[in-house]
Structure 1
């Protein structure tokens, strides 16, 4: 009876090899899935941080606009108001036209 002419079920070595291949494939697939999920979570966290930063900037801009719309007090600090407007203009929060209009409002 020849030893290498077997048909049917694989021997012990064949089962061990097949099991190793299946286990290795499963490990590789689960690792890839875990990495993909981690990348998605990081992207979502970055998007949330960016959105929070944008909201903070929008709140600051709205506060600057509200402060800009307040009428200047009659006995108030005109020089302080002009310095504040100049600072906003230099930061780019005010256009040239907005700066000139606000300055005229304070001085008149």
Structure 2
């Protein structure tokens, strides 16, 4: 499944046939997609702050709520701690996603139980990936710090020897430091 299929399916479920809205949603998502981010699932639902339904897009990295070309409401999956569904006569199936960034409520969610299970599974995978990268990061940090220090010392030596002007030294140091 690619991004276009995912968004088209969700807008079909939401009952929104506007091709301009779909195209805008696709542009919004594709503009902020990480290099290794992949589409997982989508459904339709309503954010409590909006009257009309929008689209819930689940990726390998985050949950997005898209509606009428507005900026997406992102929820990073590595921060998600729970996703539950309740039923209400007024609001239909309500999906509550609890994350370290806050809780997010979506109402009238189509196939909310299935989608909640997909959110929980994707969040579990995202947390595991984050833990693996954090475990690998401390081992790599000392060598990159030592390399940076060596490069700065070489720059300082070149500057002291007169091979670099003050301006050249400053620019090269800024490039190294970031």
- The structure, 1 or 2, with the larger RCO (C-alpha pairs under 8 Å, 6+ apart) is 1
Bigger proportion of residues as strand: 2
Greater helix content: 1
